[in-house]
Structure 1
Amino acid sequence: MKTRGALSKTRLLPSLVGLILTLLGLAMLIGGIKLSQLGGSWYYLIAGIGVGLTGLLLIAARRAAIWLFALFLLASTVWSLREVGLDWWQLVPRLAMWFVLGIVLLLPWVRRPLGITRMKSASAAALSIAVVLAGLTAVASQFTHPHDVDGTITRDAPGQNDAVADTMNGDWPSYGGTERGQRYSPLDQITPQNVGKLEEVWRYRTGDIPGPDDPSETTAENTPLKVNGKLYVCTPHSQVIALDPDSGNELWRFDPKLSTQSADSFKGWAHMTCRGVAYYEDDGDAAEPAYASADVDASENAANGDDGIPASVEDEPTATCPRRLFLPTADTRLIALNADTGEMCPGFGDNGSIDLTQNIGSFTAGGYYSTSPPSVAHGLVIIGGHVTDNESTNEPSGVIRAYDAKDGHLVWNWDSGNPDETTPIGFDETYTRNSPNMWSVMSVDSELGLIYLPMGNQMPDQWGGNRTPEAGKYSAGVTALDIDTGQVRWTHQFTHHDLWDMDVGGQPSLVDIQTDEGVKPALMASTKQGSIYVLDRRTGEAIVPIHEIEAPQGAVEGDRTAATQPHSELNFSPDMLHGKDMWGVTPLDQMLCRIQFQSLRYEGMYTPPSLQGSLVYPGNFGVFDWGGIAVDPERQIAFASPAYMAFTSQLVPREQADGGERISETEGVQPNAGAPYGVIMGAFLSRLGLPCQAPPWGYVAGVDLNNHQTVWQHKNGTVRDSAPVPMPLPMGVPALGGPIMTGGGVAFLSGTLDQYLRAYDVTNGSELWKGRLPAGGQTTPMTYEGQDGRQYVLVMAGGHGSLGTKQGDYVVAYALPEGDDSN
């Protein structure tokens, strides 16, 4: 009896392992049958049989279990190499679990009860060989970088760019560095040789923390300005704070005391953000008054004054406010602040403020306001507005309005629904409802007299059956307007009949580039689909060739799709996804992702939305979003941070959509009131909440502007702050927020999901330094020269609600040690 009891105990471990393998095999068999029925890989069905039989043989104490698992592990290794090669992160879900189980089966407590007493036995030797081969495959994959591009942009360091240096003067006076949106500074104190010495020199907290009633997407996407001897910071709730650039000490603060527009809370708002403010200094320019138009009747003129000009205009509007900040608030105001004191400028608009709801019509709380800073040019402050995505077909107009920067009178308005008439409309008129909007940041060429609008879409994003011809023309591209009149000078569309939310999110970068035909004034527009369109900014004609490629067809009833879509030769557009590109931690969740993938409609980029559910890749955040790219006009290099995350969308018939719950602009049922379909949207995730597509999901890349070739590209960022276990695994993660470049040959980027500000060598993309941030840095950093002569690099670290990064209220400045600017 003792012998039988001891034998029973020794068989307990093999039986337990056998039970686990049997259950694993059964799950894979069921999933494998489903996957094969959908046209996917047969591996999981066959693997389910092999693993399940191994488990049953273990329970029966048969040594054949070891032989069978050895054969299975060897076959799995060969299959994995055939599917993905030596790609470590792709091999992990395919082999890691089986590798560990192979080692478990070789343990003496498992094999001895099966009668395998020595490792030299044939079955143990076979399994040992299979385990070693799988392990060697994993080791070999550590020395390969299949997604990287190695290269160097060999170009001598530039001399001082006098034009840029004179414009910036060691400052960062505009959201994109200058009105040209290059996100470049000629400061060169920080170099690849000394950037490793950067240290945090001060830290400031704004006190603007997301509250319990705030939208989930409450974000600190602000890029501060440095001008007028001060730093100007804008917080998510539209507060403006002036700081001392050298110490971070607060100089003044302005709180607009937002009206919530919704019963004392922000619930129901899509998001809450302030990307920045605009600076203006009176130089004697004046915009021509436009009050006495035929659309303004005598009674309105009488209310304004005998000559139709508001009384405030007859004062001296800039005498007490010669240097101004223009602040767009979340409750739909445009406020002019004295840049010296933080007080409202009384001569601008109505005692310092303009009500941007005028002529807009009705909208839901938070459904219309300017999330991005306006542009200031030719004495005008020019502003667009964000419109909530996928709320309805009756949203506010996407009108662009130009106000006199001194007194605030409306000089012109450009409404893409009525594009030829730019004279200010009458007091009781309404701009075209639901015309395409411009929510991002404009770029300006003051010499050419043009302002460049990165355009969005007519709502809703995923259904366009009733879009107007004007909406079709001006959506999802760049439109150039005459600064002084608002008249269209040219427009170039980047997505035809956009059904994928491919609005142009990034501020276009204006740079003069060297071509075979000489230097040309270019506009570079980064887009969600991954193409970077390089146009002659005088005419809108392509400098880098653009080709029309065939697009998938078959929209839902009542809609249509464009036959072709434009594709730039300079692009970071992703390759088409396949079943082998699905990912997971284990073979099980990878299999479930494959099933999900095969269940969706997917024919590549521009797969139409469907009732079945479509895979949208690139997804809603796109390859490039509002962070754009950075360009070095001297070295002729562009620095980009492409990201790759797939989304899903499923159209929902009207009667079903009306009962669904909307969580945010990218989660839950988007109502699309007025359209025949709502839509369910979300990231393409596994049951574990991980991306279903394999990493890398984010890179940094360098482009030679002279030949528009990608010279280097490296995966970027870790999962330290987004994984259950805080391990700094270098998987390559998305970055939301833009890069900057400097005259010293160093680029900076803070937008990755892990909490770091990183520095890179612009010539080859190598990471030179990283500084730990106290919260997520989903914004674009900036750099400036302090009064102490040091070059500072500054970033706002406030996190991003939708991305789940740590939220906060920090402004952090870095510099070389005092007195150390050695190379």
Structure 2
Amino acid sequence: MILVLTAIVFALIGLAVGGAGVWLAVLGGSWYYIFAGLGFLLTAFLLFTRRPSALTAYALVIVGTLAWAIWEVGFDWWQLGPRGGVIILLGLWLLLPAIRARLGFTSPTGQVYRAGAGTLGGAVLLSLLAAAYSMTQDPLDKTGSLPEAQAGATADYGGQVADNEWHQYGRTPYGQRYSPLSQITKDNVSSLEVAWQYQTGDVKRPDDVGETTYQVTPLKIGNMLYVCTPHNWAIAIDATTGEERWKYDSNPGMNPNRQHQTCRGVSYYADAAAAPGSACATRVYLPTSDARLIALDAQNGKVCTSFADQGTLHLEQGMRYQPAGYYYSTSPPVISGGKIIIGGAVNDNYSTQEQSGVIRAFDVNTGALVWNWDSGNPDVTTPLPEGQTYTTNSPNSWSVFSYDEALNLVYIPLGNQVPDQLGMNRSEAVERFSSSIVALDMGTGQVRWVRQTVHHDLWDMDVPAQPVLLDINGRKALVGPTKQGDIYVLDRATGEPIIPVKEVPAPGGAIPEDHASPTQPLSGLTFSPPPLQDSSMWGITMFDQLACRIQFHRLRYEGRYTPPSLQGTIVYPGNFGTFNWGSVAVDPERQVMFGMPTYLAFTSRLVPRADIPPKGQDEKGSEQGLNRNDGAPYGVYMGPFLSPLGIPCQAPPWGYVAGVDLKTGDIAYKHRNGTVYDMTPLPLPLKVGVPGIGGPMITKGGVAFLGAAVDNYLRAYDLTTGKQLWQARLPAGGQSTPMTYATDDGTQYVVMVAGGHGSVGTKPGDYIIAYRLPKK
């Protein structure tokens, strides 16, 4: 019976693999699965007829599979395993005595000879040796070193921020995410321990939108930390003890039409004209998910009623359309020269009648409008007259700004016009400013320069990250990470490239109503991955890998910037981006960069308006599911490119840490980052290289800190080599950017917020955790 059942299993596998293999070959994919299916069927027949040659036949399947797999992917264990795992397990099954005892032949004298296992055993052993060798190799790893700091090197950190403090989202106006503190070093970082832990009490609710995330980076001024929470509470915490000093709840309500429920940070302001210690002499500005900006007294959390309308600035003013829940601010504004400058997030792909993406400067004390820059009407920046409105759906900026007070410029990372996948009827101004980095005069709001990173964006490749400012080889530079993986290194005074940017041909063939740009820009410093191929497809087993191969060939894909289609298009790099709002960190003394490139393919499929079903109860326009684009001729289905088992169809690694020498533009190292510990039913610490969203931080001690990955850890790395030095288990997802500071006694702390991320499915929480070295 066992032999019959084994033969049936082999026959079924042969039929399934061979049949699907024919489909794949017709689509233009690998022919291997046809031959593998035939091998399974031949083995099944020989098993049914009890012939010992079944073992030899299956040995040929194993050897053929091994040769094909190594030819396709080399000695990469994570890609060899799915190709051969099931096949080797079945080979071991055939070697069991219970199987071999039933295979044999009878001699003319009547003697029964049992089947030998030498050939099959040799094939299995050869495959196991190849697997063992591949586990010691990583052909995708890039090893190297960044230059060390030169003796006596100095750098411009931006702003007047004491070394022991962290005044803005990226510590200073330059957004470097770099601290001059050096108590924690490569040699002692492994000794870090928890100093204190605080829980905000703002936890994820049953009626929250899916994209409820905790992404805040705390500020540290004096001996206070200032944070916000996903539901827009502002909290002050003692920097030494972690004890709460005050809490303010802005009560933004629960609107199911919001695409995001988050807060990335608050902004701090000290009024030089106010008497020290007087009410609202120092302030914290809190952006909210119902489009308000609230001024609070930094000492006690009370509302500063002298600002705007009794302490509240209503950001929906000047909008022609005001659908509730479609517009809000998720990132902290910047404050400079007596002005507070703020943008706003607009729901992606909800409607053609949404709020404007206008950037506005208000008087920081009174809330009076000083200037407005609307990318749909870019030349008129004087305050909008009463009764007029800003351009509907003009490209918006939902991320973080940086600025250079000496140049009097603020740098805006701009997104796209809604709907993101449809480029029909865009104005000349929109075509110019979509998906670009724009430098605005902080005094007037006038455009000083613009650098577009995608032409006629049809892929939601908005510039998601705060531009980072530093001096490179004596030149005032800007480093701009993008979703598509290009790092733009520009002269921040003029926008001209320091590292060359060239135009390269791009795929055509947009829908008849639209067009695709014939070329796209490509930076000389890029983390854009190689194009996907049939051999790039992945799975836990040969079966789901085969399903991914078939899907790959059924979708439209001609490389980066393949236009959206009715057939369905692969978008790679995908909508989460190679880089996202977490940006990168730079060491301005060594002039090097540390980042976390992520690779996760997405798919998009346009849907004619007539074919869009009635609106569902839990339907959101976002990176996943149906985006309705009300008012447009097409909606779009979007989501990660996943196998039938719900794992990425493209082979890992899906996430790296990487170091770049900005003086030369060379990528020094690139290592897999993160494990599948929190991605699988079993907590396996397998270092595959996993996706992440969040940002890094660097210290003068030569250590880079990063959470972000979808396993719940905070990690420390040697900035020079990228080698992991330390990790700490977090009680929830760490999709925020860490920061560091020192207290008056000289103790350096590293702080991480762990609250999870709705889109990547990490564990929600409300934790703020501070680490320090053991006290002597």
- Closer, same or farther: CA 158–230 of 1 in aligned 2, 3 Å: farther
Decide whether the 8 Å contact of 1:216 with 1:664 is kept in 2. no
| Alpha-carbon distance in 2 for matches of 1:660, 1:565 | 36
| Alpha-carbon distance in 1 for matches of 2:44, 2:324 | 59
1:426 correspondence with 2:362: no
Decide whether the 8 Å contact of 1:698 with 1:715 is kept in 2. yes
Displacement, 1:158? Answer: 5.6
Partner of 1:788: 745
Partner of 1:812: 769
Partner of 2:628: 671
Structural RMSD (CA): 1.8
Q: Deviations over 1:368-417 (max 9, x none)?
A: 00011101111110000000001122211000110111111111111111
Q: Which runs of 5+ in 2 are unaligned?
A: none
1:410 correspondence with 2:369: yes
1:209 correspondence with 2:166: no
Q: Deviations over 1:485-540 (max 9, x none)?
A: 101111110000000010000000001001xxxx1000000000100000000000
Partner of 1:623: 578
Displacement, 1:45? Answer: 1.6
- Closer, same or farther: CA 159–744 of 1 in aligned 2, 3 Å: farther
* 2:684 counterpart (706, 727, 751): 727
1:686 correspondence with 2:680: no
Runs of 4+ aligned residues of structure 1 deviating over 4 Å after TM superposition are 120-123, 157-163, 316-319
| Alignment of structure 1 residues 11-410 onto 2, 5 Å | 12-115=1-104, 124-156=117-149, 159=152, 161=154, 164=157, 167-258=161-252, 260=253, 265-284=254-273, 320-410=279-369
Decide whether the 8 Å contact of 1:784 with 1:793 is kept in 2. yes
* 2:605 counterpart (647, 650, 659): 650
Decide whether the 8 Å contact of 1:168 with 1:185 is kept in 2. no
Return the TM-score normalized by structure 2.
Answer: 0.97
1:758 correspondence with 2:715: yes
| Alpha-carbon distance in 2 for matches of 1:18, 1:339 | 75
Q: Deviations over 1:632-670 (max 9, x none)?
A: 000111001000000000000111125364345012211
| Alpha-carbon distance in 2 for matches of 1:791, 1:692 | 43
- Please give the secondary structure, in 1, of the residue aligned with 2:102: helix
Decide whether the 8 Å contact of 2:103 with 2:115 is kept in 1. no
Decide whether the 8 Å contact of 1:657 with 1:670 is kept in 2. no
- Letter of the aligned partner of 1:651 in structure 2? L
Return the TM-score normalized by structure 1.
Answer: 0.91
Displacement, 1:62? Answer: 2.0
Displacement, 1:157? Answer: 5.8
Decide whether the 8 Å contact of 2:502 with 2:523 is kept in 1. yes
Decide whether the 8 Å contact of 2:732 with 2:765 is kept in 1. yes
| Alpha-carbon distance in 2 for matches of 1:216, 1:443 | 29
Displacement, 1:788? Answer: 3.1
- Letter of the aligned partner of 2:515 in structure 1? R
| Alpha-carbon distance in 2 for matches of 1:559, 1:345 | 50
- Letter of the aligned partner of 1:182 in structure 2? Q
- Please give the secondary structure, in 2, of the residue aligned with 1:24: helix
Decide whether the 8 Å contact of 1:794 with 1:812 is kept in 2. yes
Displacement, 1:167? Answer: 2.0
1:704 correspondence with 2:675: no
Partner of 1:473: 432
Displacement, 1:317? Answer: 13
| Alpha-carbon distance in 1 for matches of 2:485, 2:228 | 30
| Alpha-carbon distance in 2 for matches of 1:582, 1:496 | 29
| Alpha-carbon distance in 1 for matches of 2:331, 2:744 | 29
- Between 163-172 and 36-45, report the one with greater CA deviation: 163-172
Decide whether the 8 Å contact of 1:381 with 1:403 is kept in 2. yes
| Alpha-carbon distance in 2 for matches of 1:433, 1:215 | 25
Decide whether the 8 Å contact of 2:52 with 2:115 is kept in 1. no
Displacement, 1:266? Answer: 2.7
- Identical positions, percent: 53
* 1:714 counterpart (671, 685, 691): 671
- Please give the secondary structure, in 1, of the residue aligned with 2:522: strand
| Alpha-carbon distance in 1 for matches of 2:186, 2:743 | 20
Q: Which runs of 5+ in 1 are unaligned?
A: 1-11, 286-315
Decide whether the 8 Å contact of 1:441 with 1:454 is kept in 2. yes
Q: Deviations over 1:665-694 (max 9, x none)?
A: 012211111221110001000010010000
- Letter of the aligned partner of 1:559 in structure 2? D
Displacement, 1:365? Answer: 2.9
- Letter of the aligned partner of 1:54 in structure 2? T
- Closer, same or farther: CA 70–280 of 1 in aligned 2, 3 Å: same
- Closer, same or farther: CA 421–116 of 1 in aligned 2, 3 Å: farther
Partner of 1:511: 470
Decide whether the 8 Å contact of 1:390 with 1:670 is kept in 2. yes
- Please give the secondary structure, in 1, of the residue aligned with 2:197: strand
The count of corresponding residues between Structure 1 and Structure 2 is: 768
Q: Deviations over 1:728-768 (max 9, x none)?
A: 11000112001010110000000000010000000000000
- Letter of the aligned partner of 2:175 in structure 1? G
Displacement, 1:318? Answer: 11
Decide whether the 8 Å contact of 2:219 with 2:227 is kept in 1. yes
Partner of 2:497: 542
- Letter of the aligned partner of 2:129 in structure 1? L
- Letter of the aligned partner of 2:661 in structure 1? D
Partner of 1:313: none
- Between 404-413 and 543-552, report the one with greater CA deviation: 404-413
Displacement, 1:250? Answer: 0.3
